[in-house]
């Protein structure tokens, strides 16, 4: 009978196993010393991008369907007609899980996906969503060496929940690649923190702390305010405060406010990717049609102002891509005297459009082929030079020349 060769009491198998372990242990410090660091991210050299959410819900009828009656002449005739590419046939897919509303539309634009969204605590009519996939900001910052304040989300006064879309919880992405947010709420947070710092040690400290805590609680992603701010943003709010005081009543209001924030951000923060959440057309919910049509005109005026500001700024002139897309459409309910008051998911509320203009984008072009709202994100990714791995949408070929 053959027996295993042995070394004393150890079998050969046992010896080999022990030796491997020992060698491994000895080699680890050597390996660690020579650990290959992840490749350094390149600085971003591509075009600046202003992604404009033409919210809160606009119909084609008041914007693009009748060029001689449009309420946004600059966007339609100038930006789309002369400077960019016009896509009149963009739509939101029709499905019971795809709701035509502002939060959902914004996330569809940012993630390039159709997902079913639910309030984080299942509250009735609640719209506190968490992006289920990485946003454009995360893809951007993951691929390039970009400071957080160089990618901005600028949000309005009323739909507070939409300023917490700055990051997802996708492994490999998430809070480390988040964008910063500019809004009146953030200014009030900064102000409350400042008031608390000034009140330390005196009788107002408790009230100031309570006010700050109440404001922080509104941030359902970070209710204790643990995410750090940046020095750049502190300076930004400092100069905003010097200009507009602390009442919140002197600065422009509504969609004009976020335009002003965007223009000041261009000069002070030099962002490379900005999303601007216009929203005032949504006030037609309360009935008067003039709120809707006037709001469209105001957005048109604001975009014109933004565009002129980029042309006046050497850092942005001829280097800025404008991407304009509604979050959703509106109803076209012929049984009602005000047919466009809501956006309940009918055909008209899924019909939107897109306008892209800037370097690398054909001028005066029109693409009638139907595309999806979720196609914008991968298209912008292609323009900016980073891949979007978890999108469902596809790149729009005619836009990139």
Partner 1 sequence: MVKFLLGILFWVFQTLLGGFFCQFPVTALLAAGFMGRRAHYRFGLLWHKLYAKENPAASIPALPQPGWLLASQFRMKIQADWQKNHWRFPFFLAWRLIEGAWKNLQTGLAQIFACFFLIAWATLLMQLGWKFGWHNSFNKGFEDYLFGVLLSLAGILAFLIMAPLVLLGQVHQSVQGRFASAFDIGFLRRLLNQRPVAKITLALVFLSAFFPIAILNSAPRFFELANPAWAELTDQEFQKKVQPYFYIYGLVLFLAVSWVRNHAVKLYAKSLWVMVKKGDLDEKNRSLLAEQGFSIPLLKVELIAPKSLVAIAQSVIVKTTKGTLWSIAIFSPLLWLAAIFLVYFKEFINYHPETGFLNHPFLLLPWIGPSPF
CB of 348 to partner 1, least distance (A): 7
Q: Per CB under 8 A, which region of 62-70, 111-119, 222-230, 278-286 contacts partner 1? A: 278-286
Asked if 352 contacts 328 with a C-beta cutoff of 8 angstroms, the reply is: yes
Asked if 128 contacts 120 with a C-beta cutoff of 8 angstroms, the reply is: yes
Q: Per CB under 8 A, which region of 8-16, 188-196, 277-285, 355-363 contacts partner 1? A: 277-285
Query: According to CB under 8 A, which one of 206, 338, 364, 370 is a site residue for partner 1?
Result: 338
CB of 339 to partner 1, least distance (A): 8
Binding pattern for the stretch 86-115 against partner 1, x by CB under 8 A and - elsewhere: --------x---------------------
Question: Does 124 help bind partner 1 (rule: CB under 8 A)?
Answer: no
Q: Which is nearer to partner 1, 287 or 364 (CB)?
A: 287
Residue whose tokens read 């608390």: 196
CB of 288 to partner 1, least distance (A): 7
Q: Per CB under 8 A, which region of 215-223, 252-260, 262-270, 367-375 contacts partner 1? A: 252-260
Antiparallel, parallel or unpaired: β 180-182 and 6-7: unpaired
What CA–CA distance (Å, rounded) separates 288 from 293? 10
CB of 303 to partner 1, least distance (A): 19
Return the structure tokens found at 301: 């005026």
Question: Does 32 help bind partner 1 (rule: CB under 8 A)?
Answer: no
Binding residues for partner 1 restricted to 135-194, rule: CB under 8 A? 157-158
Helix/strand/coil (H, E, C) string of the chain? CCCCCEECCEEHHHHHHHHHHHHHHHHHHHHHHCCCCCCCCEECCCCEEEEEEECCCCCHHHHCCCCCCCCCHHHHHHHHHHHEEEEEEEECCCCCCCCCCHHHHHHHHHHCCCCCCCCCCCCCCCCCCCCCCCCHHHHHHHHEECCHHHEEEECCCCCHHHHHCCCCCCCCCHHHHCCEEECHHHHHHHHHHHHHHHHCCCCCHHHHHHHHHHHHHCCCCCCCCCCCCCHHHHHHHHHHHHHHCCCCCCCCCCHHHHHHHHHHHHHHCCCCEEEEEECHHHHHHHCCHHHHHHHHHHHHHHHHHHHHHHHHCCCCCCCEEEEEECCCCCCCCCCCCCCCCCCCCCHHHHEEEEEEECCCCCCCEECCCCEEHHHHHHHHHHHHCCCCCCCCCCCCHHHCC
What CA–CA distance (Å, rounded) separates 297 from 70? 9
Q: Which is nearer to partner 1, 328 or 376 (CB)?
A: 328
CB of 337 to partner 1, least distance (A): 4
CB of 279 to partner 1, least distance (A): 11
Cβ neighbours of residue 37 closer than 8 Å, sequence gap 6 or more = none
CB of 83 to partner 1, least distance (A): 30
Q: Which is nearer to partner 1, 254 or 326 (CB)?
A: 254
Query: According to CB under 8 A, which one of 224, 228, 334, 368 is a site residue for partner 1?
Result: 334
Question: Does 245 help bind partner 1 (rule: CB under 8 A)?
Answer: no
Q: Which is nearer to partner 1, 88 or 254 (CB)?
A: 254
CB of 158 to partner 1, least distance (A): 7
Query: According to CB under 8 A, which one of 331, 372, 377, 391 is a site residue for partner 1?
Result: 331
Question: Does 291 help bind partner 1 (rule: CB under 8 A)?
Answer: yes
CB of 192 to partner 1, least distance (A): 17
Question: Does 211 help bind partner 1 (rule: CB under 8 A)?
Answer: no
Question: Does 344 help bind partner 1 (rule: CB under 8 A)?
Answer: yes
Question: Does 78 help bind partner 1 (rule: CB under 8 A)?
Answer: no
Interface with partner 1: number of residues (CB under 8 A):
33
Query: According to CB under 8 A, which one of 55, 103, 326, 345 is a site residue for partner 1?
Result: 345
**Which parts of this chain interact with partner 1 (CB under 8 A)?**
94, 157-158, 247-249, 253-254, 257, 280, 283, 285-288, 291, 295, 331-339, 341-342, 344-348
């Amino acid at each position: 009978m053959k027996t295993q060769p042995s070394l004393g009491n150890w079998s050969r198998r046992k010896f080999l196993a022990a030796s491997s372990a020992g060698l491994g242990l000895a080699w680890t410090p050597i390996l660690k010393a020579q650990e290959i660091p992840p490749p350094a991210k390149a600085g971003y050299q591509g075009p600046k991008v202003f992604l404009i959410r033409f919210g809160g819900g606009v119909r084609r009828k008041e914007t693009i369907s009748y060029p001689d009656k449009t309420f946004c002449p600059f966007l339609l005739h100038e930006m789309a007609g002369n400077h960019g590419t016009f896509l009149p046939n963009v739509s939101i897919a029709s499905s019971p899980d795809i709701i035509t509303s502002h939060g959902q539309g914004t996330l569809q634009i940012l993630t390039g996906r159709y997902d079913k969204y639910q309030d984080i605590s299942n509250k009735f009519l609640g719209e506190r969503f968490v992006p289920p996939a990485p946003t454009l900001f995360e893809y951007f910052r993951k691929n390039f060496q970009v400071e957080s304040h160089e990618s901005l989300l600028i949000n309005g006064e009323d739909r507070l929940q939409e300023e917490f879309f700055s990051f997802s919880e996708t492994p490999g992405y998430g809070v480390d690649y988040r964008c910063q947010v500019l809004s009146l709420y953030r200014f009030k947070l900064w102000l409350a923190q400042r008031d608390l710092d000034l009140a330390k040690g005196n009788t107002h400290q408790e009230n100031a702390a309570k006010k700050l805590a109440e404001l922080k609680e509104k941030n359902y992603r970070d209710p204790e305010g643990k995410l750090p701010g940046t020095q750049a943003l502190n300076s930004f709010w400092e100069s905003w405060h010097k200009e507009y005081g602390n009442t919140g009543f002197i600065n422009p209001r509504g969609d004009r406010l976020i335009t002003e924030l965007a223009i000041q951000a261009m000069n002070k923060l030099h962002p490379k990717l900005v999303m601007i959440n216009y929203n005032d057309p949504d006030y037609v919910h309360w009935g008067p049609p003039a709120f809707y049509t006037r709001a469209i005109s105001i957005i048109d005026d604001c975009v014109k102002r933004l565009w002129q500001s980029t042309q006046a700024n050497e850092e942005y002139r001829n280097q800025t891509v404008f991407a304009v897309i509604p979050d959703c459409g509106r109803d076209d309910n012929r049984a009602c005297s005000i047919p466009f008051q809501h956006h309940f998911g009918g055909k008209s509320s899924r019909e939107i459009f897109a306008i892209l203009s800037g370097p690398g984008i054909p001028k005066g072009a029109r693409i009638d082929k139907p595309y999806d709202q979720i196609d914008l994100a991968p298209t912008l990714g292609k323009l900016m030079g980073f891949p979007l791995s978890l999108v469902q949408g596809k790149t729009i070929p005619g836009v990139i020349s």
